[in-house]
Amino acid sequence: MSLPFNIAIDGHSSCGKSTIAKAVASKYGMRYIDTGAMYRAVTLYCMRNNIINDKKVDLSVLISKLDEITINFVFNAETKGSETILNGENVEQIIRGFEVSDNVSIVAQIQQVREKLIASQQEIGREGNVVMDGRDIGTKVFPDAKLKLFVTASSEIRAQRRYDELKKKGEKVTFEEVLGNLTQRDDHDTNRKINPLVQAKDAILIDNSDLTIQKQNALIDELITTKLSE
């Protein structure tokens, strides 16, 4: 089965958007695009090329290099997950690390970066059957998406989930650092001038602070079934 429309999923950092998107993609045979991974890949490029130092971006250098940044996704049949490729290199692991997380919201507020990534996201979604998650999918990337979700959870719960994930990967980080980083990213994401994180008027709010993944999936299945019958 494939869906004749795109699904836009927006929400705060570490609220489980990608868990929802992956489940929907796998159930309905849709293509899943994690747009946060694209901003993370550009951030990694900046870090590796000395374009970002002490949280300051050399804007003119970044703009001159934007055409040299190519981001693709490959499907890993073993993990059944999509992985991010930056200029031919699989960077899926490194872009999830704390250092990239700590710098990404600075890169994500640069207009030229957003324009480049949004254009490529819209191109990917042209044919439909795409589930995309991010911060501005329902408002800017696919303003006409038939189903829009806005996902959130309390900051403590989100930080705990992220902390557990990072610990599993062996990262040396404290809960307070993770919570601090998350709060800072929420602040950047919601208060930046360009494409801030806001709930689209026609998006359905899902607060999963006290929701099991099973209940959440059932709720979303119901929403998709309703949209399909409209």
What's the CA gap between 18 and 9, in Å, rounded? 9
195 vs 220, beta carbon nearer ligand DC: 195
82 vs 105, beta carbon nearer ligand DC: 105
User: Which of 103, 105, 139, 152 is close enough to bind ligand DC by CB under 6 A?
Assistant: 105
Buried b (16+ CB within 10 A) or exposed e, 105-136: bbbbbbeebbebbbebbeeebeebbbbbbbbb
Decide: is 159 part of the binding site for ligand DC (CB under 6 A): no
Count Cα neighbours of 147 within 13 Å in the Cβ-side half-sphere. 28
30 vs 138, beta carbon nearer ligand DC: 138
Minimum CB separation from ligand DC for residue 228, in Å?
25
What's the CA gap between 66 and 34, in Å, rounded? 20
31 within 8 A of 124, measured Cβ to Cβ: yes
User: Which of 159, 178, 189, 203 is close enough to bind ligand DC by CB under 6 A?
Assistant: 189
User: Which of 7, 9, 25, 35 is close enough to bind ligand DC by CB under 6 A?
Assistant: 35
With CA atoms as reference, report the closest residue to 61 among 42, 82, 77, 89. Answer: 42
Decide: is 104 part of the binding site for ligand DC (CB under 6 A): yes
Decide: is 39 part of the binding site for ligand DC (CB under 6 A): yes
> CA-CA-CA-CA torsion for 230, 122, 111, 50, nearest 10 degrees?
130
Are β-strands 204-207 and 56-57 bridged in parallel, bridged antiparallel, or unpaired?
Answer: unpaired
With CA atoms as reference, report the closest residue to 66 among 17, 116, 24. Answer: 116
Minimum CB separation from ligand DC for residue 39, in Å?
4
Decide: is 71 part of the binding site for ligand DC (CB under 6 A): no
Q: Which stretch binds ligand DC (CB under 6 A): 32-40, 51-59, 68-76, 210-218?
A: 32-40
Decide: is 136 part of the binding site for ligand DC (CB under 6 A): yes
Q: Under the rule (CB under 6 A), what is the footprint of ligand DC? A: 13, 35-36, 39-40, 104-105, 108, 134-136, 185, 189
